[in-house]
């Protein structure tokens, strides 16, 4: 059984040759093509956003690493009263 509780050992009957060689339904083909297009576009957008976020993290980390904190100058401090 899988995580959903379904038994995966069920054997299906083989499809008949005429079913295998039948012309696919045009609406089904169009629907699958639209789904694939939408999912691939979403994947591309997700990868672009991820890449931009990684670049911004790299820039922020590298700019912090390159700018050491300046030690306070004794002359800049107010004199003690």
| pLDDT digit string, tens, across residues 35-57 | 999 988 888 888 888 888 888 77
Residue 15 or 54, more confident = 15
**pLDDT confidence band for 9 (50 / 70 / 90):** confident
Residues in CB range of 8: below 8 A, 6 or more apart: 1, 2
Residues in CB range of 2: below 8 A, 6 or more apart: 8
Nearest alpha-carbon partner for 34 in 44, 46, 26: 26
Taking all residues of the chain, what is their mean pLDDT, rounded to a whole number?
79
> In the numeric block, which tokens belong to residue 1?
């059984």
15-38 mean pLDDT: 94
pTM, two decimals, is: 0.41
Tokens 């576009």 -> residue: 41
């Amino acid at each position: 059984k899988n995580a959903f509780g379904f038994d995966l050992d069920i054997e299906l009957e083989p499809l008949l040759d005429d079913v295998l060689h039948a012309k696919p339904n045009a609406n089904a083909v169009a629907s699958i093509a639209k789904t694939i297009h939408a999912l691939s576009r979403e994947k591309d957008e997700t990868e672009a956003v991820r890449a931009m976020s990684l670049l911004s993290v790299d820039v922020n980390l590298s700019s912090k690493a390159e700018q050491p904190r300046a030690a306070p100058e004794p002359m800049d401090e107010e004199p003690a009263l």
